Amino acid sequence: MSSLDVQMPHAKSGNWFRSGETTGASGDTRSQMRRFKLSTMDKVGNRLNKLQAHLGSESELLVAPNNTSAVAVEATPGSIWNGVPQAPPDPILGVSEAFKADKDGSKMNLGVGAYRTEEGKPLVLNSVRAAERQMVADMSLNKEYLGIGGNPNFCKLSRELILGADCAAVREGRVSTVQSLSGTGALRIAAEFLGTFYKGAAVYLPNPTWGNHKKIFPNGGVAVKSYRYYNPATRGLDFQGLCEDLCAAPAGSIILLHACAHNPTGVDPTHEQWAEILKVVKAKQLLPLFDSAYQGFASGDLDRDAQAVRMFVNAGLEVIICQSYAKNMGLYGERIGALSFVVADAGVAKKVYSQMQQVIRPMYSNPPMHGAAIVERILSNKENYEAWKLEVKGMADRIISMRTALHSALQKLGTPGNWDHILNQIGMFTFTGLNSAQVTNMTKKHHVYMTQDGRISMAGVTAAKAQYLAAAIDDSVRNC
Ligand code: PGU
């Protein structure tokens, strides 16, 4: 094909033909068609070139400026997106990808915080199965759109689960709740709402925190700062640092608090320390935002794990709460959670609700119904609810027993260092204290997958593998 040969679609058939080929059309018509096609291609070519210049790509132009040769497209195959840089793997979910690709038989995935059975398998709770069976049999259910704020009964049950049905704020209609795409979605809606109606305030995150917090808030228009939380020397709470940093935060700042089972450290304030934190938050007029992703996983008791949140709400503060049912109902992939604003009066609650809808509508219109229907059936049916409570306790207890198993296996090996924090830390994770080189050794040599900060999900440990895990830690500590 010469450089003057241009491929154009046949005007009637839409087939591509070369400019020199006969189409059956008269010479005049052909040249008109050709002029039309070239001018169209001119426009397309110019747009592509502008786009490429905008993207700053150094590769050849996709279409020559004079448009004499669309052949350039054939000669330099490429993509508009050539300049898009490769993103790094996600620090948590990327670990699961690497785990899947590993063919070693002894591999363990302790990266993602997801519950596993004693056989190391994902678990669907019996209470969830029961709810789903009831749903299948319920012919009154349909697949219509939910409202923008989600399933209203699910929302009511969710705020009651975290605050207690007898909570004054609930009774007085001062809590606005929307259904969200799990805990992440609740945080994202909250962030955008705050970025719109609470402009200028930064959110203070504990150091360290769940990595996604640092991305969610800026995406919603909220700047991120941090407050001291964990003291590596004691492997415990840096309570003094925490109080100093909260005191130093400008009045009105948003303070993100993990409601229980802090991720990644497994270190929670005591009841007395929570009371002190409440005093500071009140005195400094800070806005508390609770991330409650592990209700039930800290103590095995749903009410006990909600104590910190309830303490703040019952003290009369305005509070934001993000809930997730990923862990405590094992509904990870259903993406079901809730966002609640506890506010000073019922009139304000209504307005806040209307604006949460404004955030949601252009983002995903309205939420999916299946997960909400499962939660609704568990929380509103006494039999299902009692069964679920036992299952939550069972999961928490198995995790605690894995702490004992790992700790005693390390003691047997005489692994250098003090490992009592494995017993003392709370919830799904142990913040082992392994450094980055040791973590790399755990993965590369022993096929134990964990996050680079040294966090392991205790929910992924089994009695059969505790020994193997201890040996891998022992080797990493001694040799790296
Ligand atoms: N908040 C905290 C503190 C979390 O740990 C998590 C999940 C979430 C919110 C959000 O969970 P949803 O699934 O959106 O409800 N953290 C887990 C799960 C993996 C991930 O990073 O999303 C983890 O392993 O840290």
Q: Is residue 137 part of a domain?
A: no
Is 173 in the same domain as 304?
yes
Would you say residue 448 has pLDDT above 70?
yes
- Give catalytic status of residue 138 as yes or no: no
Catalytic residue among 291, 305, 388, 465: 291
Q: At 467, which CATH number?
A: 3.90.1150.10
Would you say residue 451 has pLDDT above 60?
yes
Is 68 in the same domain as 100?
no
Query: Which of 38, 58, 86 delimits the end of a domain?
Result: 86
pLDDT category of residue 49 using cuts at 50, 70 and 90:
low
Is 111 in the same domain as 197?
no
- Taking alpha carbons only, the member of 430, 452, 429 closest to residue 439 is 452
Closest atom, ligand 1, to C-alpha of 113:
24
User: What was the pLDDT predicted at 404?
Assistant: 97
Ligand 1: residue of 93, 95, 184 to mutate (most ligand atoms within 8 A of CB) is: 184
- CA-CA distance, 222 to 66, in Å (whole number)? 47
Is 23 in the same domain as 106?
no
User: What was the pLDDT predicted at 5?
Assistant: 38
Is 329 in the same domain as 467?
no
User: What was the pLDDT predicted at 52?
Assistant: 57
Q: Is 328 in the pocket of ligand 1 (CB under 6 A)?
A: no
Segment 115-143 shows an average pLDDT of 96
User: What was the pLDDT predicted at 189?
Assistant: 98
- Give catalytic status of residue 225 as yes or no: no
Residue 114 Cα to ligand 1 middle (Å): 9
Catalytic residue among 156, 210, 238, 245: 210
pLDDT category of residue 42 using cuts at 50, 70 and 90:
low
Token pair listed for 43: 């426009």
Ligand 1: residue of 263, 453, 458 to mutate (most ligand atoms within 8 A of CB) is: 263
Mean pLDDT of the chain: 89
Is 218 in the same domain as 70?
no
pLDDT category of residue 15 using cuts at 50, 70 and 90:
very low
Is 184 in the same domain as 332?
yes
- Taking alpha carbons only, the member of 401, 417, 431 closest to residue 474 is 417
Is 22 in the same domain as 100?
no
Would you say residue 55 has pLDDT above 80?
no
Would you say residue 90 has pLDDT above 50?
yes
Query: Which of 380, 409, 435 delimits the end of a domain?
Result: 380
Q: Is residue 127 part of a domain?
A: no
> Domain span at residue 53?
1-86
Token pair listed for 212: 């996604």
Contact status, residue 180 vs residue 186, Cβ threshold 8 Å? yes
Query: Lowest-confidence range among 35-49, 173-187, 390-404?
Result: 35-49
Would you say residue 51 has pLDDT above 70?
no
Count the domains in the chain: 3
Would you say residue 132 has pLDDT above 50?
yes
Is 334 in the same domain as 243?
yes
The residue type found at 396 is A
Nearest CA to ligand 1 atom 16: 113
Q: Is residue 132 part of a domain?
A: no
| % of the chain with per-residue pLDDT over 90 | 84
Q: Is residue 388 part of a domain?
A: no
Is 326 in the same domain as 195?
yes
User: What was the pLDDT predicted at 76?
Assistant: 58
pLDDT digits (tens, 9 = 90+) for 72-87: 445 557 999 999 999 9
Q: Is residue 193 part of a domain?
A: yes
Is 352 in the same domain as 248?
yes
- CA-CA distance, 99 to 106, in Å (whole number)? 11
Token pair listed for 170: 């609930």
Query: Which of 69, 86, 103 delimits the end of a domain?
Result: 86
Segment 9-18 shows an average pLDDT of 39
- Give catalytic status of residue 50 as yes or no: no
Would you say residue 356 has pLDDT above 70?
yes
Q: Are strands 336-342 and 319-324 parallel, antiparallel or unpaired?
A: antiparallel
Is 31 in the same domain as 162?
no
Q: Is 208 in the pocket of ligand 1 (CB under 6 A)?
A: no
- CA-CA distance, 160 to 354, in Å (whole number)? 21
Query: Lowest-confidence range among 68-77, 333-342, 393-402?
Result: 68-77
Ligand 1: residue of 324, 364, 450 to mutate (most ligand atoms within 8 A of CB) is: 324
Q: Is residue 451 part of a domain?
A: yes
pLDDT category of residue 162 using cuts at 50, 70 and 90:
very high
| % of the chain with per-residue pLDDT over 70 | 84
User: What was the pLDDT predicted at 77?
Assistant: 73
